[in-house]
Amino acid sequence: MSNSKGRPNEVTFGWRMPMWDPAGAKLDSWLPAVREHLDALRDSVYQTVWMSDHLVPGSNWAPPQWDTLECVTALIHFATLYPNYRYGQIVLGNSYRPPALLGKMVATLQALTGSRLVLGIGAGWMESEYRMYGYPYPTPKIRMEQLTDAVRILRAIWTESPASYAGKHFSLDECYAEPRPSQPPLIMIGASGEQLGLRIVARYADWWNTTAPTPADLKAKLAVLAEHCAKVDRDPEDILLNWQCQVVALGDSEAEAQAAAELSPLYPYSKTSAIIGTPETVAERLQAFVDVGVRDFILRFADFPRQDGVLRFAREVAPKLKV
């Protein structure tokens, strides 16, 4: 449901599943807990399952030899087993798959599984990963141009038959991608650069994924986004705001929640945006993002593989957030 300006008047939630373990554990030690979570959360507030897209751990601190799931392969697996969820990527690295092939892959995925998708995509950033896998790592400007081509190709290949497009870096020439999706995926763009990234968001995004650490930071970014939208005659309210948090920790007291957060290996690298506290405190902090305009949250809970935090949030925090 949307208000008169197009922005939904409800708040939705997604669970960010691990694609690698932040303590370096082997896959077979934590994959069962992923499946247990997907079983447990079927009928809860978590509409979307979010997956990161890296070929090695997506950080500058985790060693590359740790077990890591590839995003599209994992997406096919879990969407087949758990088709009731919507799935999203946080976010696909545009450089890793030719955009026309990606569009065909997604069309096939939807045809085989019936899954709903929010296709998250970004320009890519992790140079060491590019070099390791033999991908060229062009300048930010070129990667942003490539991202623009990719988004336009994805829209074309899902809605036109045949589809043609002549871009700076990628093209289509009477391309068929049948069967096309009956409902093309929403496109979420992950970008924060005010000169290049937000310009692409303004022109092409259905959703914008932001990692702004505070509501004040997000408000400042939104002002820039509004300027870019005005230049292309677009209402910024038509772009759904999606905010992600790497560490959510709940407790009966602030001290208990803080202790839970500090047990997560991710916490030292996510302090500025971590959401920690009692259910009341957590709801108050997230409501501040809702008040700025966020309508969808991607949440990763500090106590994984336990389910206490993710289930308590669904019971005691989610119902408190109101538009």
H-only helix segments in the chain:
27-40, 71-81, 99-113, 127-133, 140-159, 197-204, 215-231, 254-262, 279-292, 308-316
Contact call for residues 48 and 118 (beta carbons, < 8 A):
yes
What fold is seen in the domain 12-320? TIM Barrel (3.20.20)
Q: Identify the pLDDT of residue 8.
A: 79
Q: What is the dihedral of CA 170, 91, 42, 25, to 10 degrees?
A: 120
Q: Retrieve residue 118's tokens.
A: 């929010």
Do the strands 171-175 and 163-166 form a parallel or antiparallel pair, or are they unpaired?
antiparallel
Q: Identify the pLDDT of residue 152.
A: 98
Q: Identify the pLDDT of residue 9.
A: 87
Q: Identify the pLDDT of residue 63.
A: 98
pLDDT tens digits in sequence order for the chain, 323 residues long? 444 345 778 999 999 999 999 999 999 999 999 999 999 999 999 999 999 999 999 999 999 999 999 999 999 999 999 999 999 999 999 999 999 999 999 999 999 999 999 999 999 999 999 999 999 999 999 999 999 999 999 999 999 999 999 999 999 999 999 999 999 999 999 999 999 999 999 999 999 999 999 999 999 999 999 999 999 999 999 999 999 999 999 999 999 999 999 999 999 999 999 999 999 999 999 999 999 999 999 999 999 999 999 999 999 999 999 99
Domain boundaries, the chain: 12-320
